[in-house]
Amino acid sequence: MYKDILVHIPTERPMRPVIDGSISLAAHFNAHVDAVAVGYVATSAAYVVEAGAAAAAVFEMERERAVEKAEAALAVFKSEATKAGITYTCHPLGAIPVDAAGSLGAMARLHDLSIVLQPDPAQGSFDNDVPGEILFQAGGPVLFLPYTFRGVFKAKRIGICWDGSRLAARAMRDAAPFLARAEEIVIITINEADAVPDEISASNLARHLGRRGLSTRTVSLSAARADIQPTILSLAADENLDLLVMGGYGHSRLQERLLGGVTRAMLEAMTVPTMMSH
């Protein structure tokens, strides 16, 4: 059950999608929301240490302005949350980007679900980096909302992207509260005959979910690797899906977060809310 939700409210990008989505979801699950907004400080902490008291004073002024920017973004969330009657807490932060990402990733570990805005590669913004960091650091599900999303979040029709991997299994389990309330569940497989062993096939997943009392149907498709993401999104549109559930692939190399190819492509072009687990 999702009873404790974290939402990242952007200060440099559209905030309406995550405000609408998090509040409506919290109302549906009777959940508490911790809303976090970050005003970014450009001055590095290392520079302040080296430059002495004068630079430290400048840094503190920048941090205060950054906190004010975060508070302004949270004021919009607070107004809408109050109208909706949900319980919430606002957390304004002023920090350099790497510290902000670390703080949000740590906070996400003590929440049932984190909600973030889809990154936009065409727009240079620190708010683009935070969602991926939360995915890598949370240890739990992250709901990405498209920047075109508006209105009430619903998950009546859900697609599970299944490749038999540990991450796909983790995402499927993390989505249990959504799946339990779904009207239709579609298991989506791509190139299953070539990539998925029989013991973790879509038919066995359907049997497993059936033992939970969940009815499913399976759609099996073929696609070249470069076409997997558009194939999934095309099916999502044809099936009028409200939510996709999938593993969030990637790894860390020398502290650089690297998203897997399909994961990156999905985040860049998503047209439907997508829940990922890493």
pLDDT in tens, 19-42: 999 999 999 999 999 999 999 887
Same domain, 140 and 176: no
Q: Evaluate whether 226 touches 257 at the Cβ level (below 8 Å).
A: no
Distance CA 216, CA 167 (A): 20
Question: pLDDT tens-digit profile of 121-140?
Answer: 777 788 888 888 899 899 99
Encoded tokens for 1: 């059950």
Same domain, 224 and 266: yes
Same domain, 202 and 74: no
Q: What is residue 114's three-state secondary structure?
A: strand
Encoded tokens for 168: 């796909």
Distance CA 48, CA 226 (A): 46
Interior CA angle at 151 toward 237 and 176, to 5°? 65
Same domain, 136 and 172: no
* CATH number of residue 168's parent domain: 3.40.50.620
Same domain, 65 and 117: yes
Same domain, 268 and 171: yes
Over residues 73-78, the mean pLDDT reads 97
Same domain, 101 and 162: no
Same domain, 84 and 45: yes
Q: What is residue 186's three-state secondary structure?
A: strand
**105-109, 193-197, 211-215: lowest mean pLDDT where?**
193-197
Distance CA 97, CA 39 (A): 9
152 in a structural domain: no
Q: How far lies 242's CA from each of 13, 82, 155, 184, 278, in Å?
A: 23, 26, 5, 10, 21
127: nearest Cα among 217, 8, 43: 8
Question: pLDDT tens-digit profile of 209-229?
Answer: 999 999 999 999 988 888 888
Same domain, 117 and 199: no
Same domain, 208 and 122: no
Same domain, 218 and 187: yes
Over residues 91-108, the mean pLDDT reads 90
Given 103, 120, 145, the domain boundary residue is: 145
Q: Residue 46: what pLDDT?
A: 47
Per-residue pLDDT band at 95 (split at 50, 70, 90): confident
Same domain, 132 and 204: no
151 in a structural domain: no
Instruction: Say yes or no to pLDDT of 176 above 60.
Output: yes
Given 145, 169, 193, the domain boundary residue is: 145
Structural domain count, the chain:
2
Residue 161 sits in which domain range? Answer: 157-277
Q: Residue 265: what pLDDT?
A: 78
State pTM to two decimals.
0.90
150 in a structural domain: no
Distance CA 107, CA 57 (A): 28
What's the per-residue H, E or C state across 142-181? EEEECCCCCCCCCCCEEEEECCCCHHHHHHHHHCHHHHHH
Given 145, 173, 201, the domain boundary residue is: 145
